[in-house]
A and B are shown apart, each in its own frame.
Chain A
């Protein structure tokens, strides 16, 4: 999105600065894209390799959205990414912008189809279960009307925008602090802060809020676990800011909470009761409550810090003093990895929260595995992937670091 913005600015202003900024970010995006593809293919495979029973039973439904993802978004994205990277001279600037826009469209459509799949697992709709246990598609459009889909999609996309804004702002801060390329540093910092400020607010409200309300409505047991409410509190629930779940005594240690706020946030009423974990059967509760609780709280905590950083930054940007305010630049420089952490934790919340189910309320996780694959084989491949991904992670950092070090003035691809 930011790349398309820069290319658009270039077309409007005809200033070479914006064009170079767009191409520079595209280089970083290209490395990201490669990583995304190579680590994404195993995910498409694993539905069959590791979750074959799940695929056999639900393939008629999730197969639709997953295949649409490949056909409509992945091919769009990858076809035009090549043209965007290599084709500036061949295409001319207007078509080059179109290619960039199509890459953006492809990547967002990809997120949409993936989340349509996940939304169906979180809140299954439009299906029918046959006698042999198979799920067949009954209503195609219901999959895209799923109340879970739009909030989750927008939350996810805004979170991605927060991530890219922080990365762009962080690169900008680096160029200013290192006095390497101050012209681009200022451009990146400014753009990153503006987009980052808008996006980090939208992640929390309204999109995060919509999602939380969906969880209360459709997965109340998960909601209690992620908020850390062991006992139902009558007359309004407090919101937990800090505390460590103690699973043996079923309470929170070292708790700090603010009374009645959770009830207000959830139901817009200070006194509505929120169901605690004591009201659900143990089999209905998520299997790893502490992990779910921490994932959720760290995600929300980081999200709040992002708003604070970007809020402060935009204030100084408005007063035009940000470029001299070194402390804030250092904070922005080192903030870049944290949106990644928050994103991963957000997925932990979604996936751990759905446990013990694979398809919420219908199919348990343990019923979806590949029965013919032994645990020794999965351990073998897990170790292989861990080694390979560690290598990929290091190479990724080196390559992105090198692109940033060379700077936007560099001509090489």
Chain B
């Protein structure tokens, strides 16, 4: 909560979708935990499906969330030129009747955010396939390589399509990249990853495919943020200004304290991750675990 105003505005504004995300997270977590508690096929089937469906919807929601952040919201709840809330607050309906991102009061789900949601689903399907190939010797690994190959073409088409639409919704969407050319490095990451995925069958090691899909995710997210910086939530009306990192942050003293313990915490996290990876490395099938 280094940006309390941003947190307060976004969490109350996206109230309904966030609560639904919570329900999905709960289902996803308990499916994973409960699946193997009974050795009974029907029980396992139920939780497999619950896990699959909640994971799929969760990714779709996260993609739509990114779409919403990029598109912006009606800050201050402006109706007929008058704010109904304080300037940095808003409340988004799940959708409005037009499903259009250009409406005065756009909803969480419109055709633009839905598109970004699909992009997220495709991207993470590739990433998940790459992970399975990397960590298992399963019989479907060869099929998954085909899946990655095909989906990466789909992703390329979707990328071009969403960039074009974004340009239509926000005519100066790519301004930051022209103003600060060094930011181009982020989209470059994205496209290097994407092209590596398209030619993934030529990559010699499984881990390279995984690196490529990681690069796509990293590049995609950083590019979106770089295009907005320093704005964190654009306003779709002309009355209330967008939320930026400057007008939403906590006090300087608080931030400097948090920087100190935050750094220590991140170092600890890296240590945990290294410890875990050391013990859990290699393909799952080759590992001997349990008691």
Contact = CB atoms under 8 A, between A and B. Distances in A.
A89 B276 contact: no
B250 A63 contact: yes
B214 to A, nearest CB: 20
Contacts of B7: 47-48, 52, 55-56, 59, 63
A362 B251 CA distance: 19
Contact of A52 (B9, B33, B262, B290): B9
B258 interface: yes
Nearest to A61: B254
Given A34-B33, A49-B18, A71-B269, A64 B257 contact: yes
A370 B86 CA distance: 11
Contacts of B12: 48-50, 52, 370-373
B89 A23 contact: no
Contact of A82 (B39, B250, B253, B276): B276
Interface stretch (A36-44, A237-245, A306-314, A319-327): A36-44
B19 A381 contact: yes
B30 A372 contact: no
Given A63-B1, A64-B257, A41 B25 contact: yes
Given A45-B18, A48-B11, A60 B254 contact: yes
A136 B279 contact: no
A341 interface: no
Contacts, number: 181
A80 B5 CA distance: 34
B208 interface: no
A202 interface: no
A252 interface: no
Contacts of A82: 276
A90 interface: yes
Contacts of B1: 55, 59-60, 62-64, 66-67
A384 B19 contact: yes
Nearest to B39: A412
Contact of A90 (B25, B38, B279): B279
B4 interface: yes
A83 B8 contact: no
B16 interface: yes
A64 B254 contact: yes
Contact of A373 (B4, B91, B265): B91
A80 B251 CA distance: 34
B156 interface: no
A48 B33 CA distance: 28
Contacts of B34: 395, 399
Contacts of B2: 63
15 contacts: A30-B33, A34-B33, A41-B26, A49-B18, A52-B12, A55-B4, A56-B9, A75-B268, A75-B272, A79-B275, A83-B275, A83-B279, A370-B15, A372-B85, A380-B16
Given A138-B253, A371-B86, 14 more contacts: A49-B15, A50-B15, A53-B8, A55-B7, A55-B11, A63-B4, A75-B268, A76-B268, A88-B291, A89-B289, A370-B8, A370-B11, A392-B26, A392-B30
Closest 10 CB pairs of A and B: A48-B11, A59-B4, A63-B1, A71-B265, A52-B12, A370-B12, A56-B8, A60-B250, A52-B8, A372-B91
